[in-house]
A and B are shown apart, each in its own frame.
Chain A
Amino acid sequence: MSALFTPIKTICQFSLCGVTLTVSDYMLTILLWPIGVVCVLAALCRINNEMIQFSARYVYNTFYDIFYGYLKEKGKIYIPFLLYLMMFIFIMNLANLVPILHPCSSQFAFSASLAMLVFFISIIVGIFVHRMHFFNYFIPQDVPLALKPFMFILEVISFMIRPLSLALRLAVNMLAGHIMMHVIASFGHSMSSKLIGIPILGILGIFELGVAGLQAYVFAVLSCIYIADILYSH
C-alpha cells in the first residue's frame, strides 16, 4: 500500500487539556503551500503589477462567463465560491509537482472532504430555495405511478453517488500522475545515461501541469452543474 499512497508523517504531537493535537506534513502543506503561492504572487505584483492584475482579471472573467452559463441569474451568488474552490484545488494540485511537499490532492481524504462540502451545499441550497418541494427532485414527472418508487430509489442512489465520483476522479487523476512521475523518475535515475530520462520527466511534468488545471476546472464545473441542477429542478 505504501507504494501507492504517500504516507502521512507526523511531525510533532502535543496534548492540551486532554486533546491531542497532531501536526503532520499533510496539514502543514495545506496550510503553508497556498500562503507561499500567494506570497510569490504578491512579490510578483511589486515587480509587474499590470501583468498580474490583467491575468487575474482575465481568469476571473473567463470562468465567470463559463459558470454564469450554467447558473444563470438566480445562482450567480455561488460563482465566487466555485472560483475559490477551483483556484484552491489548482494550487493544491501544483503541490503534487513539487518534490519535497506532501501530495495532498492525491489523498482521498482531501478530495472527499471538498466533495462532501459541495454535496451538502447543494442540499442546503435545495432546501433553502424550494423548501419541501426539494424532494420532488427525486420523483420524475411523466412516469407511470407503478414505476415511481423504483425511480425514486434510482434517483436517490444517483444523487448519493455524486460526491463519491467527484472525489474519486480528482484523487485518482492526481495519484496516477504522481505514480507515473515516480516511475519515470526512478527509471531515469537508474539508467546509465540520464540524458533520456530527465527530458521525459520534464515533458511529463508539463503534461501533469495541464492535468492539474484540467482537474481543478472539471471539479468546479461539475459542482456548478450539481448546484444548478438542484436550483432549476422545477
Chain B
Amino acid sequence: MDPQVARFFSAALAIIPLFGVALAIGRIFSTAIDAIARQPAVKKDVVPLAIMGFALTEAAALFALLIAFLILFV
C-alpha cells in the first residue's frame, strides 16, 4: 500500500471510537431527560452531573481525534 494511502486509512480507523462516544452522549442525555421527566425536582442535581459526564465522554472522542491529527500531520 502506498504510505500516504495507509496514513489516511489509519487516520480514518483512529476515529472509530467516535461511534461509541456518540452512543454514550446520547445515553447520558436521554437518561437525564428521563430522570427529569419522572421527577422534575431533581433537575438542579441532575443537570450538572449530565454536563460533567458529557465533558468526560467528549474528552475520549477528542483523544481519538488527536491521534488522528497526529497521524495526519506529524
Contacts and interface: CB of A to CB of B under 8 A. Distances in A.
A178 to B, nearest CB: 11
Interface residues of B, number: 15
B48 A173 contact: no
A4 B63 contact: no
B interface secondary structure, majority: helix
A45 interface: no
Interface string A35-49: 000000000000000
B59 A173 contact: yes
B73 A173 contact: no
Q: Which of B48, B56, B66, B70 is packed against the most chain A CB atoms within 10 Å?
A: B66
Contacts, number: 37
Nearest to B74: A1
Contact of A218 (B52, B62, B69, B74): B52
Contact of B63 (A3, A66, A168, A217): A168
A215 B55 contact: yes
Interface string A162-183: 0001001100110110010000
6 contacts: A4-B70, A168-B59, A169-B56, A169-B59, A172-B62, A176-B66
Interface of A: 1, 3-4, 66, 165, 168-169, 172-173, 175-176, 179, 214-215, 217-218, 221
